[in-house]
């Protein structure tokens, strides 16, 4: 069945999206961004036109959040979507009241186009599709002769139901949903930045060099960067301080896994899971090699089909619980909130999201310079990392809610010490 964007359109929140509206606020915004830097200055009016065209093709994003009796849901939003100029906020709260009800923003600055999305609506892969579609449409409007080459969805395709599906529940396995309790993770401490500000520091290195470095250790890029992250946290925060109680909690890096690569689905909505590294680092002599071995092992264990399905089913089972299902929404909301605040977000030290490389059709490539990803950072996860690459520009972006930049510094110095050129970008939040 095909659907045109209309008042009949409404969606249930997908399984992983359900938690975010209840636990998000100005501090824990659950917002992430992807940005494209073009080679020419962005024209605001054409960008607006591109958005208007694309939103009618993607009814999934043309929605607002409404409350029902048992669950909240996305309902068709008839109000106009307006592109804005980029402000200094990085992944700030998306307040639907100030945003015509929309749960995402599209912003521009100089040559950049930035999308920030509330996590309930989609995950990284979903937003990349939206971003590609917008950029394609925008470039067409500026008069460029470009072709989609099946890499970019255009406004001429009709939306398919498959794009809206909640893929998590399709792979639900009743027999494989055991809940495994977890310990609280180590938290990176620091001086909080004022006014909910977020600091952003990106480092760009050569994709080719990055691959070489990871392969030399027989690791994937994500594995290598995760191991390096753990090592950097260890060296800057924990080493020789293992006797302090708070340093004895395990360092856990939450690494999202795009399930579309493991299970067949073309959904635009949330369809990701995670692997997590877990290591108590309260010793004085942990080597990088030791961490690498452990990370490799934990990634392999976490990425097996059985384990991925177990994690999916664990979430879905929660939603299928009859008792919870028929609890009125206004009560359920508090249950979710309390559960999440007590444990949910405290189970990770930080998240490291590798969105991966983004491909554009050959005809579009001359107009695209690079891409940047970013996720919010909050009170418990004071530092997060997201990675995205385009051609030979491999960009690692740190977002932080604290003043200190020690981890970023040591992380990037690791590369410069290997003789790799690193180009830094910063939003200079510390200057404020």
Cβ 219 vs Cβ 292: under 8 Å: yes
Residue 84 Cβ, how far from another protein at the closest point, in Å?
12
Q: Give residue 241's Cα distance to chain centre.
A: 32
Residue 86 Cβ, how far from another protein at the closest point, in Å?
6
For another protein, the closer CB: 98 or 178: 98
For another protein, the closer CB: 86 or 211: 86
| Sites of contact with another protein (CB under 8 A) | 7-8, 10, 12, 66, 68-71, 73, 75-76, 78, 85-88, 90, 97, 109-110, 112, 195, 197, 200-201, 203, 325-326, 405, 408-409, 412-413, 416, 421-432
Beta-carbon count within 10 A of 354 CB? 23
Residue 422 Cβ, how far from another protein at the closest point, in Å?
5
For another protein, the closer CB: 240 or 432: 432
Residue 73 Cβ, how far from another protein at the closest point, in Å?
6
- Phi and psi dihedrals of 380, rounded to 5? -90, -50
Residues 209-235: b if buried by 16+ CB within 10 A, e if exposed: bbeebbeeeebebbbbbbbbbbbbbbb
Task: Give the Cα separation of 275 and 297 in Å (integer).
Answer: 11
Residue 101 Cβ, how far from another protein at the closest point, in Å?
10
For another protein, the closer CB: 121 or 249: 121
For another protein, the closer CB: 136 or 415: 415
The SS3 assignment for 315 reads helix
Q: Give residue 234's Cα distance to chain centre.
A: 24
DSSP state of 383: E
Task: Give the Cα separation of 371 and 368 in Å (integer).
Answer: 8
For another protein, the closer CB: 215 or 409: 409
Residue 389 Cβ, how far from another protein at the closest point, in Å?
18
Residue 372 Cβ, how far from another protein at the closest point, in Å?
9
For another protein, the closer CB: 247 or 372: 372
For another protein, the closer CB: 140 or 316: 316
Query: Sheet holding 31-38: strands in order across?
Result: 84-85, 104-109, 112-118, 31-38, 368-375
Cβ 374 vs Cβ 90: under 8 Å: yes
Query: Sheet holding 10-12: strands in order across?
Result: 10-12, 72-76, 63-67
For the residues of 102-160, what is the DSSP string, one character each? -SEEEEEETTEEEEEEETTT--HHHHHHHHHHHHHHHHHHTT-----TTTS--TTSPPB
């Amino acid at each position: 069945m095909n659907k045109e964007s209309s008042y009949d359109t409404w969606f249930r929140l997908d399984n992983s999206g359900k938690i975010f509206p209840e636990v998000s606020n100005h501090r824990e915004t659950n917002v992430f961004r992807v940005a494209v830097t073009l080679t020419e200055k962005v024209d605001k009016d054409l960008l607006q036109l591109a958005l208007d065209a694309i939103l009618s093709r993607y009814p999934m994003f043309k929605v607002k959040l409404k409350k029902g009796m048992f669950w909240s849901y996305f309902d068709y939003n008839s109000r106009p979507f307006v592109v804005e100029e980029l402000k200094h906020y990085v992944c700030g709260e998306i307040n639907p009241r100030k945003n015509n009800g929309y749960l995402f923003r599209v912003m521009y600055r100089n040559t950049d186009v930035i999308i920030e999305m509330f996590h309930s609506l989609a995950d990284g892969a979903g937003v990349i599709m939206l971003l590609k579609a917008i950029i394609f449409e925008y470039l067409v409007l500026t008069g460029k002769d470009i072709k989609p080459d099946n890499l970019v969805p255009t406004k001429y395709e009709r939306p398919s139901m498959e794009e809206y599906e909640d893929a998590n529940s399709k792979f639900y396995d009743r027999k494989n949903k055991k809940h495994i309790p977890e310990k609280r993770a180590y938290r990176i401490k620091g001086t909080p930045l004022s006014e909910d500000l977020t600091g952003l520091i990106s480092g760009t290195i050569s994709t080719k060099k990055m691959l070489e470095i990871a392969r030399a250790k027989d690791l994937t890029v994500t594995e290598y960067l995760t191991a390096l992250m753990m090592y950097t946290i260890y060296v800057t925060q924990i080493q020789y301080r293992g006797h302090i109680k708070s340093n004895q909690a395990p360092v856990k890096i939450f690494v999202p896994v795009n399930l579309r690569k493991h299970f067949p689905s073309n959904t635009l909505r949330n369809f990701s899971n995670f692997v997590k590294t877990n290591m108590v680092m309260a010793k004085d002599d942990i080597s990088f090699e030791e961490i690498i071995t452990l990370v490799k092992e934990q990634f392999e264990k976490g990425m097996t089909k059985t384990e991925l399905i177990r994690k999916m089913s664990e979430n879905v089972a929660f939603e299928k619980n009859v008792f919870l299902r028929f609890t009125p929404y206004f009560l359920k909301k508090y249950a979710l909130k309390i559960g999440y605040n007590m444990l949910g977000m405290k189970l990770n030290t930080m998240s490291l999201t590798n969105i991966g490389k983004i491909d554009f059709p050959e005809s579009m490539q001359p107009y695209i310079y690079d891409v940047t990803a970013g996720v919010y950072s909050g009170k418990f996860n004071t530092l997060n990392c997201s990675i995205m690459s385009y051609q030979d520009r491999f960009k690692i972006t740190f977002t932080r809610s604290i003043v200190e930049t020690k981890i970023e510094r040591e992380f990037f110095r690791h590369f410069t010490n290997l003789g790799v050129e690193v180009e830094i970008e910063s939003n200079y939040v510390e200057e404020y």
